[in-house]
């Protein structure tokens, strides 16, 4: 089997995220930000006034996750970040990968944060997960902040499926 290039996996993951959150209205659809600069720059170029101010952490999201989108809670109209870091080439997920994805989720107070890969979890990362080292301060649909957990998702190229990475 040929290794899936990370660039292609980002495209596939963006489409998957869009489907996962298809029941939500989007304030900002899922976009790939790899090598495009920090989210703050993008937000201030695209949104203005109260529209910009209603985005959580809009002034301090100086991070560049691979994929980001802003969904709107149907219950509260709260704007919520969904971010994902993507790792390809069938490499085992490392602690550095986990820390990077957690940093992006923390910076945005993400409603949902993902680390999507086509490779397995490294043994040190599995241990980190057992020890709760995949938690971050995120935001719930009601707008309150609380403890959320990074989700590890694996893409299986042979079946074109996304599954929980264990």
**Confidence (pTM):** 0.95
The 8-class DSSP code of residue 142 comes to T
Distance of CA 125 to the CA centre of its chain: 18
Q: Given a cut of 50, is residue 38 above it in pLDDT?
A: yes
Q: What is the pLDDT of residue 1?
A: 42
Q: What is the CATH number of domain 6-164?
A: 3.40.1340
Half-sphere exposure of 85 (CA within 13 A, CB side): 21
Mean pLDDT along residues 104-119: 97
Pick from 140, 60, 126, 70: which is nearest to 98 by CA? 126
């Amino acid at each position: 089997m040929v290794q899936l290039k990370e660039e292609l996996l980002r495209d596939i993951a963006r489409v998957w995220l869009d489907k996962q959150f298809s029941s939500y209205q989007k304030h900002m659809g899922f976009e790939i930000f790899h090598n495009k600069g920090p989210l703050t720059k993008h937000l201030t170029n695209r949104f203005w006034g109260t529209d910009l101010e209603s985005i959580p952490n809009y002034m301090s999201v100086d991070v560049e996750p691979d994929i980001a989108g802003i969904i709107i809670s149907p219950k509260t109209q709260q704007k919520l970040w969904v971010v994902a870091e993507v790792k390809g080439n069938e490499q085992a997920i490392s602690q550095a990968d986990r820390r990077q994805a957690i940093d992006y989720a923390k910076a945005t107070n993400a409603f949902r944060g993902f680390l999507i890969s086509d490779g397995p979890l490294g043994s040190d990362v599995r241990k980190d997960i057992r020890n709760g080292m995949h938690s971050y301060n995120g935001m719930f649909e009601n707008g309150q902040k609380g403890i959320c957990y990074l989700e590890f998702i694996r893409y299986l190229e042979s079946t074109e499926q996304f599954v929980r990475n264990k």
